[in-house]
A = this chain, B = another copy of it.
Amino acid sequence: MGGVTDTLQSASLTRLITELSRLPGIGDKSAERLALHLLRTPKEEALGLARAIEDVRANVRSCTKCFNVGEQDPCAICADATRDRSTLCVVEQPSDLWAIEKSGAYRGLYHVLSGRIAPMEGVGPEHLTVSRLLDRTREGVREVILATNPTLEGDGTALHLQQKLESRGIAVSRIARGLPSGGTLQHASRAVVADAIGGRRAVANGGA
């Protein structure tokens, strides 16, 4: 951006482009496009975004029980007396928790790892909330659902947790993998088809 900065002599705009290009998944060209949008959109909308960022940093914190994010501590889910406290669902990120909540398929509590074990990036269990998870299993937990993503690192993290948990007399389960609902065998990758075959379930005698 050096040459263009000199020509435009607009320090504010250059700085906004730089700040935007620091966001994950936003390249230089996208940052330019977003900066022009923020310059042209109604002023209230642009300033609304700036204030929303400031508010989130002022008001949102991690739940000290499950490491979900929210404005209360404990978070709304941990504080909800109607939820099943004997089941913990372990996820990598709050956004995974949001996806499970949207599905409506789960009524227990969560535990957010805040990442996954990634040896290539130097991320070990000690950088995640693993020890707090192990502490929590002493609080009347009967089942832990390992809902890390079905990726190399998510699977490795699940394996690590499984080994840590299985000596504690807790039922440990892993989310199902297979063909995505609405998908087709023809277009699925070999790994997905192999999961679908290997994970097949009996359909007679009440199986599903």
Contact = CB atoms under 8 A, between A and B. Distances in A.
Interface of A: 3-4, 7-13, 15-16, 18-20, 22-25, 29-30, 32-39, 43, 45-60, 68-72, 75-77, 93-95, 98, 101-102, 104
Contact of A104 (B3, B16, B22, B93): B3
Contact of A16 (B4, B39, B56): B56
Contacts of A46: 53, 56-57
Contacts of A94: 36
Copies of this chain, whole number:
2
Given A20-B49, A35-B56, A46-B56, 10 more contacts: A8-B69, A8-B98, A8-B101, A10-B60, A13-B60, A16-B52, A16-B53, A19-B48, A25-B30, A47-B54
A93 B71 CA distance: 41
Contacts of A98: 4, 8, 32
B52 A12 contact: yes
**Chain B CB within 10 A, most for which of A25, A94, A98:** A98
A1 B57 CA distance: 21
B69 A39 contact: yes
B95 A7 contact: no
